[in-house]
Structures are given as C-alpha cells and as structure tokens.
Amino acid sequence: MKDIATPKRTKDILERHGFRFKKSLGQNFLIDPNVLANIVDAAGVTEETGVIEVGPGIGALTEQSARKAKNVLAFEIDQRLLPILNETMAPYPHVSVVNEDVLKADLHKRISESFAPGQDLAVIANLPYYVTTPILMKLLEEKLPVRVMVVMMQLEVAERIAASPGSKAYGSLSIAAQYYAHTETVFTVPRTVFMPPPNVDSAILRLTRREKPPVDVADEALFFELVRASFVQRRKTLLNNLSKHFQDKLSKQETAEALQRIGIDGARRAETLMMKEFAALTSTFFRI
C-alpha cells in the first residue's frame, strides 16, 4: 500500500478534495514516510498498543501507527479534514477519528470507551505549534494511563521541555513536564519535510510517564504557582520575583526568611534551582 506521506500523494489528496491550509490551525503536513515511521518506532508500538493522536491531518502519521498498533483514536478539530480521513483511513478499520477539540475533550472517558482496561497506550502526534504547550500540559496534568508520549513540536519548545537547570532554555515548562515524565529529544526534523514548510525546525520529544513524581510536594498547586512566579522575569532574582507575587500575603522580609530557612540564596535566579529546591520551598511556604 502506498504511503500517504509523499509529496505527490499528499498534493493529489489535497487537490482532489479542494483543501486549503489554515494558518490559524497550524497545519503543516509531513511528507517523509521515514520520519513518520521513526516517530512510531520511538514510541515502542506493538500489536497490543493503543495509540492516541492529536491532529491527524490527512492521516499520514495515523497510517504509520495503524500499521503497527492494535487500534488508534485520533482527535481532529478541522471538519474539512473528515472526508479526507474517511478516504485515507478506509483500509484501517481499527482507526477511529473524532471531530473534537482535544483541549475540551473528556480524555478519561474517551480512553475508557476506545481502549481495553490496562491496555498499553501511547500518544503519538505532530502537535500544532500554536497550541503545543496547552495540549501537552493537559495530557500530562490529567494523569492519563499512557505509557509514553512521542510528539513532534517546534525545536525551541522541545529544548525548553527537556532543559536542565542552569541552561537558558530551562524554565517553568521544563519543571512542569519533568515533574510528570522523563523527557528526551529523540531527533530533530528539518522544515523541508513539511507541506507547507514552517518557519522553524522541529524535534521529536519522548515523554515517558513517571510512576510517581521525582519530588514530594505538600501542595501541587502551590508548587507550580511558586515555579511560575519564580520565572516571571528571568533576569530578576528569586527574592524579587517571589516577594512581588506574594506581596498580598507576605512582606519581602518574610519571603527572604522563608528562603533562608531552607538555605536558598534569594539573590539566585530561578533558572539555577533544581526541582528538589522548588519542592523544599513549597514545603516552607505551605507552613506559612
């Protein structure tokens, strides 16, 4: 069976259906079957795996997943793509496409309806650049029964998610993602293998779900609030960022004392703190 993801076949499908790309939906379709096959391989998909996909487009990546997986559930927000997917996915009866915004979907309900209890699950997706972070964080924060997520995104965002303390890319997104999953960049993807080509290069990021977070925190909501507040202005010190954020609850002196109690220098910048230091800070603030 011919691959969907060749320049000629992609062009033929789009022309036959009179499809025009919508910039507002961040539509950039991959036209290299080898890249797509490598994405599926990176997720360790077997004949027992259920795959969840976000934004299948015309089904190029969906097809590669369907060739290896037991079943596939794909969320497509653009109604114009449904007739195309009906055609391209016809050879794969184990693929289900739902016309739904994944950000508004009840994912636990969808998963329970589409997959067997305890089935091995993987998210495999070429995420639209404009909503990469919201989608990724929803998938992580809802603590879905998913073993791994292998997702394509803008290279810069992938670098931020996988960044280590002390690097320029390290920030609140790094900590949030790494709290829920082990993160690693698998490979990069040049802009030339997309139709139309985006303005940036992309990367494939693998996020393997942790059985438990790497740190214990007294209050998850407070932990993430502290992390976000610490990075509000990267060039400012930790003390300045936190005292401004909590000014209605604590004086600057009280914030400085909270930092001193756990041996963190308030003159440091947030990018130098490890996750365990933010966890210790959360415990201190939780008691105030």
Annotated binding site for S-adenosyl-L-methionine: 28, 30, 55, 76, 101, 126
Q: Could you tell me which residues are annotated as the binding site?
A: 28, 30, 55, 76, 101, 126
With helix as H, strand as E and coil as C, how does 73-132 read?
EEECCCHHHHHHHHHHCCCCCCEEEECCCCCCCCHHHHHHHHCCCCCCEEEEEECCHHHH
Q: How far apart are CA 217 and CA 172, in angstroms?
A: 16
Cross-strand partners of 188: 203
Which residues are paired to 122 by β-bridges? 51, 148
Cis peptide before 93 (omega within 30 of 0): no
CA 156/CA 235 separation, integer angstroms: 20
CB 261 within 8 A of CB 198: no
